[in-house]
A and B are shown apart, each in its own frame.
Chain A
């Protein structure tokens, strides 16, 4: 197993992987409201908050609160570090799935 890339434990969990993938699908620099993200992912608010907090603690996600006509709105966005980490994670997955020898046709 020496030489195989480490998978980022912050991303490498079912729920957080779904959250990160979804956020990474937005164009860079875009953010999404919490309720819309929750609707896209079909997760409970509590579950989504828990995972977002872990991603936020790692610096992968930025959560901003603002007001729209006096109604508080929470926006979620992937940070530059987060997007980079997601790209590295995806690259690591592809390396892991490559056949060990060079004889593979794929």
Chain B
């Protein structure tokens, strides 16, 4: 029974086979039950990049509509990507995932209302055009910092710090370069992390 080279199709596997079974089964279960988070980074990286370029090239009104459409697609896609693999699984991680997702929703909604408040206060349009996307990026950066802290992930923590630097830099870049700074900086950062995750495995 303890012979590591014993092999029998019906009976107990050899030690080497047993270890292979463990590795195969765990990789299979993880990949099917947990969302492939690299896809989220790739998706939102592409959205930031597209939005930055849209605002740089188009007039603000058209760019806003295009951005709203792209973001709506992103939100729906994220919800589907995030919810499907976890079906049939519940427990401690479900609550953590729910709180994490709600954290993003609450923070980003608050930014939206805050920006509306700034406009209501009569902040000039040029200042709004620079400050609102920078504020969004600042909050997003803080959330990635905390993502890194929650899952003790270096790429997320570094991404968060980088996004905050880009957010501040975009304010100093001013119009119209700010949108390009944000698009390339935030979008590029997300795409780099997506690439890292895809090459290093799913739960880096």
Contacts and interface: CB of A to CB of B under 8 A. Distances in A.
Interface residues of A, number: 36
Interface range, B side: 20 to 34
Interface in A1-46: 1, 4-7, 9, 12-14, 17-18, 21-22, 24-33, 35-37, 39-41
Contact of B89 (A1, A12, A28, A32): A32
Nearest to A39: B88
A22 B88 contact: no
A50 interface: no
B29 A97 contact: no
B89 A31 contact: yes
A58 interface: no
B2 A30 contact: no
B4 A22 contact: no
A12 B12 contact: yes
A49 interface: no
B101 to A, nearest CB: 16
B21 A14 contact: yes
A30 B21 contact: no
Interface of B: 1-2, 4, 10-13, 15-16, 18-19, 21-22, 25-30, 32-33, 87-94
Given A14-B10, A37-B88, 16 more contacts: A1-B2, A4-B2, A7-B1, A7-B18, A12-B18, A17-B22, A21-B22, A21-B26, A24-B26, A25-B29, A29-B92, A29-B93, A31-B89, A39-B88, A40-B33, A93-B19
Interface of A: 1, 4-7, 9, 12-14, 17-18, 21-22, 24-33, 35-37, 39-41, 75, 77, 90, 93-94, 96-97
